[in-house]
Structure 1
Amino acid sequence: MITLNDTVLQYLLAAVVALPLLGAAAALLPAPPGLRGRSPEQAVLRHGVTVTGVVLAAALALAAGFDYDRAQDIQGGTDISWIPALGIRLHLGVDGISLPLLVLTALLTFLCALYSYRNPPKGPTPTAFVALLLVLEAGTLATFAVLDLVLFFLAFEMVLVPMYFLIARWGGEGRAKAAWKFILYTLLGSVVMLLGLLLVGLTAGTFDMVALASDNGAGIGRTTQIVAVLALGIGFAVKTPMWPLHTWLPDAHTAAPTVGSVLLAGVMLKMGTYGLVRIVLPAAPEGAAHFAPYLAAFAVVGILYGSLACLALVRRGGGGDLKRLIAYSSVGHMGFVLLGIATLTRTGVNGALFANVAHGLITGLLFFLVGALKERTGSTDLDALAAQAAGGRGAGLYGRAPRFGGLLAFGAVASLGLPGLAGFWGEMLALLGAYHPADGLSRPAYLVFMALGGLGTLLTAAYLLLVVRRVCMGERQPETAALPDVRGYEFAAWTPLVVLTVLAGLWPALLLGLTDPAVQNLLPGVSR
């Protein structure tokens, strides 16, 4: 591995954050005559692929030049005074916790742009679509790169407006209601989160996240920490989403266009759990320890609730929507992330970070596949899909589009946590962390949480296998029309997610070796 000096990493990180914004501004300008291709619409979609491709290349160069022997240190840092009167600085940097999320964001956005180039979204002009997509990418990347609390809040909020318009203008049935529900929930959560960020920064005398982590809560009293963690936890819980603050998610996913669902599940849900790990655990450890059992309890309720909701949706005659089912499955999967964080152990937090990345890869693939399935069949209603094929008992994708059906089955078994695929390790480490929680936490309570989480894995396997049964299996009748199998551009967009899901499952040390030193640095008093 080639290690670049810190100045080169600094320029690469700045480029990763700034290029999407510059690309969004350029997308609004008329295309030069020689670059228009067949139409201005094609030119702007190609522009989106180009910009996101350059950002991905810069993110991969950043990862290639990262010093993995110092994964716990902030690298590629930029620290410039911005508002001296308030002590706010333009502070950027990357370590073993944020680097995987930066690369994941750049990858998924590029794949979404590539997919949209050959399958343009149905709605208003592609110019606005590409500009919003790039603004969304810029805000998400900045969230994972900034190291100042005020900048973090601004980046955190930056993604809300483009996602609102992606749902409201390019979404499907019920998009207006879903978009308003999304924006209201997340904005209200953000207001509470801002109060917590200000309380932490003003009490500690700094908004610098590195300094706050180094102090480990020394400058903030216990009562203040508890109040701050409550406010921060509510804001992050809405974005995660944690039960019972999850109700905006199924509607948003069901109404959103395909690329909106991919980015919402693949990267935006990670912003809340990233905030818990990056800000709450190191800056307010006593407050985090106070609320950890409650967070674990809400997490396992979310695991069970999400699984039971999916079982209700997948049953015959239930009128369940496949896209909505995957949205509810995200509530359960993110519950494992929250459970890992709530253990306050290195094992659990590493499991949470691994599960974050795994969920982004697997659920991103599933939403791509469901969007393509709707394009082919005109519906994602499970009963309607089954009625189109063999006697109403199964959609029969194995017979009608075998490669497409195989990919959908792969995504389902990866999502249920099959050993050897990425979904397994994060959930297992979260449960292991609950088996031996941090000192001061009730081990009997966490053993109950672990048992309930284990039950959730069984329920998850049950509903996902039923999905495979109803969507992929079933005999194809002679009068049943075949479906287009995986197309070339779909193969290009989906293959990286399949390969990385297998790679992370077979070689988990590739990711855990990156996150563990950084987690040790954030949790200095934790031995396991």
Structure 2
Amino acid sequence: MLTLLLILLPLVAGVITLLVGANLAKQVALVGALAELGLAIFVWSQFDPAAGVQFGFKYNWLASAGISFAAGIDGISLVLVLLTAFLTPLIILSTFSHTYKNSAAFYSLILFMSAALVGVFMATDAFVFYLFFEAALIPVYFLAAVWGGENRLKVTLKFFIYTMFGSLFMLVALIYLYYQTPGTHTSEITAFYNLQLSAKSQGFVFWAFFVAFAIKMPLFPFHTWQPDTYTESPTPATMLLSGIMLKMGVYGLIRLLLPIVPLGLESWGMLAVILSVIGIIYGSIIAIQQHDMKRLIAYSSFAHVGLMAAGVFAASPNGLQGAIIQMLAHGINVVGLFFVIDIILSRTKTRSLDQLGGITQVAPQLSVYFLIILLGSVALPLTNGFVGEFLLLSSVFAFNSWLGAIAGLTIILGSVYMLRLFQMSMFGPRSKWVEGFQDLTFNEKAVLLPLVIMVLWIGIYPNTFLSISEPAVNQLLQLVAK
């Protein structure tokens, strides 16, 4: 029942937000998101990592077809549910200094998207997974199309068509797997784990899943929708896209691709890792060349997700644990970075690094918060990014030493583009655009402080979260080994 409540609470809060009107919309949305966070923390307190899937529910949806509306939580999904519940109220709070036209619809869409994301991470039926996977696309499409930048309609249409097209491959694969289940067919994900498919069939399913999830993350060469969409979307939508939504693709690789088609992974895993490593280097090099701060972070996110995918395809305990903890760390860091950029944009009316400089002279508090989050993103030891990056690089190196060495360049390249971002915006002579720049407000510190605490908490005590997912990861790898 707790699982169902985690889905229903943001849905109900979104409906109430829509009904109360513009004057109270942001406050009601924040209360609803905080209630979801409280519920997620309660679920965490009651969760036993060694007990497998817990707090599940199952209702007949299409009973004659063996399809149920079913969900539950294991250690892998709990980490991502906590990430979603933690970031959503911070994303809402980050908007309090802005005024949005038709704000009731704006905040309700954020809550609806939160419900869909939680549904993806908890679904135990394949078609319910697909339902929420697609449902998460709709709110962010409208957020970007209605409240986005000048080229929003062209960019969001490309994003919608691109991601919908990719999801069709997954739907075809799920229907195929459904008809491979014996007797009265079922769409339970665990039933798909027990299928004995030929190597040829597994190759087909592997590529169907790979294309769907590679577009959603995105991975090279399926990434062309991402930079424009991140740049043109309003900052809260960009936070949702980068902080949480891209994790659906990585989660899909872990939950569906690895355990269902291990022979497909054996045949095509090397190519998948190569594409992931190409994405790391390509995204990093392009990020170094950017002058738009938001676009720079978009390409850095593309590079980070390439490393996560490489670790997943390496199919080792370090790889999966690294991907899970890095999803958590990346979500925290990228939301913090986009929020800092939004603060700078709101005060200077520019995101161009060529027009900025000297902010640290007038905003020392912003400088400190920005630096800590940035150091987490470049994986400084004792920050959250270091834990996942170390595990991921070790897993890729164990998979193939040459690919591991190339992937390891992310440490150098990431430091280059992130420190360049900080140096050009915060140091140097004070730009005319920075005149009158105000330091952080109370609301802004209320957003950044929890993020900074998590940067340090995960970096210093990573086992708090690694211990949640470890039993589930070991169990999943046993399925892959079979």
Calculate the TM-score normalised by the size of structure 2.
0.96
Q: Aligned match of 2:158 in 177, 181, 186?
A: 181
Superposition deviation, residue 12 in structure 1: 2.0
Counterpart CA distance in 2 for 1:57 and 1:369 is 26
Superposition deviation, residue 243 in structure 1: 0.8
2:16 counterpart residue number = 26
Letter in 1 for 2:25: V
Aligned counterparts, 1:42-81, within 5 A: 42-70=23-51, 73-81=52-60
Does the CA-based 8 Å contact 1:242-1:331 persist in structure 2?
yes
Letter in 2 for 1:18: L
1:515 counterpart residue number = 469
Counterpart CA distance in 2 for 1:139 and 1:480 is 40
1:238 counterpart residue number = 215
Number of aligned positions between the proteins: 478
| 1:85 and 2:64 matched | yes
Q: Aligned match of 2:349 in 372, 378, 387?
A: 378
CA 1:283–1:526: 2 relative to 1, 3 Å: closer
Does the CA-based 8 Å contact 2:355-2:433 persist in structure 1?
no
Counterpart CA distance in 2 for 1:126 and 1:94 is 33
Does the CA-based 8 Å contact 2:259-2:479 persist in structure 1?
no
2:313 counterpart residue number = 342
| 1:496 and 2:458 matched | no
Aligned counterparts, 1:210-289, within 5 A: 210-213=190-193, 215=194, 218-289=195-266
| 1:506 and 2:460 matched | yes
Superposition deviation, residue 168 in structure 1: 1.1
Cα deviation code 1:388-441 (max 9, x no counterpart): xxxxxxx1121021111222222222111111111111111111112223xxxx
Aligned counterparts, 1:73-472, within 5 A: 73-116=52-95, 118-122=96-100, 124-204=101-181, 205-213=185-193, 215=194, 218-313=195-290, 320-385=291-356, 395-437=357-399, 446-472=400-426
Counterpart CA distance in 1 for 2:424 and 2:329 is 25
**What is the alpha-carbon root mean square deviation over aligned residues?**
1.6
Superposition deviation, residue 475 in structure 1: 3.7
Does the CA-based 8 Å contact 2:58-2:71 persist in structure 1?
yes
Q: Higher Cα Rg: structure 1 or 2? A: 1
Letter in 1 for 2:350: S
Counterpart CA distance in 2 for 1:135 and 1:339 is 31
1:91 aligned counterpart, secondary structure: strand
Superposition deviation, residue 277 in structure 1: 0.2
Superposition deviation, residue 220 in structure 1: 2.1
1:119 aligned counterpart, secondary structure: coil
CA 1:405–1:86: 2 relative to 1, 3 Å: same
Superposition deviation, residue 212 in structure 1: 2.8
Does the CA-based 8 Å contact 1:289-1:344 persist in structure 2?
no
Letter in 1 for 2:38: A
CA 1:223–1:477: 2 relative to 1, 3 Å: closer
Letter in 2 for 1:58: L
CA 1:206–1:525: 2 relative to 1, 3 Å: closer
Counterpart CA distance in 1 for 2:142 and 2:440 is 29
Cα deviation code 1:327-371 (max 9, x no counterpart): 000110001101101111111111111111111010111011111
Does the CA-based 8 Å contact 1:149-1:207 persist in structure 2?
yes
5+ unaligned residues in a row in structure 1: which ranges?
1-10, 32-39, 314-319, 386-394, 438-445
CA 1:98–1:480: 2 relative to 1, 3 Å: closer
Does the CA-based 8 Å contact 1:193-1:232 persist in structure 2?
yes
Superposition deviation, residue 478 in structure 1: 10
Superposition deviation, residue 201 in structure 1: 2.2
Does the CA-based 8 Å contact 1:200-1:220 persist in structure 2?
no
Does the CA-based 8 Å contact 2:378-2:415 persist in structure 1?
yes
Calculate the TM-score normalised by the size of structure 1.
0.88
Counterpart CA distance in 2 for 1:286 and 1:48 is 46
Superposition deviation, residue 480 in structure 1: 6.1
Does the CA-based 8 Å contact 2:348-2:434 persist in structure 1?
no
Counterpart CA distance in 1 for 2:165 and 2:320 is 27
Does the CA-based 8 Å contact 1:98-1:145 persist in structure 2?
yes
CA 1:126–1:518: 2 relative to 1, 3 Å: same
Letter in 2 for 1:185: Y
Counterpart CA distance in 2 for 1:165 and 1:149 is 26
Superposition deviation, residue 88 in structure 1: 0.6
Counterpart CA distance in 1 for 2:85 and 2:178 is 30
Letter in 1 for 2:223: H
Greater helix content: 2
Counterpart CA distance in 2 for 1:129 and 1:268 is 17
Counterpart CA distance in 2 for 1:181 and 1:434 is 33
1:77 aligned counterpart, secondary structure: strand
Letter in 1 for 2:384: A
Superposition deviation, residue 143 in structure 1: 0.4
CA 1:212–1:488: 2 relative to 1, 3 Å: same
Counterpart CA distance in 2 for 1:206 and 1:271 is 23
- Which ranges of 4 or more aligned residues in structure 1 deviate by more than 3 Å? 475-480
Does the CA-based 8 Å contact 1:120-1:126 persist in structure 2?
no
Identity of aligned residues (%): 34
Does the CA-based 8 Å contact 1:346-1:526 persist in structure 2?
no
Superposition deviation, residue 477 in structure 1: 7.9
CA 1:153–1:364: 2 relative to 1, 3 Å: same
Does the CA-based 8 Å contact 2:220-2:279 persist in structure 1?
yes
Counterpart CA distance in 2 for 1:354 and 1:479 is 38
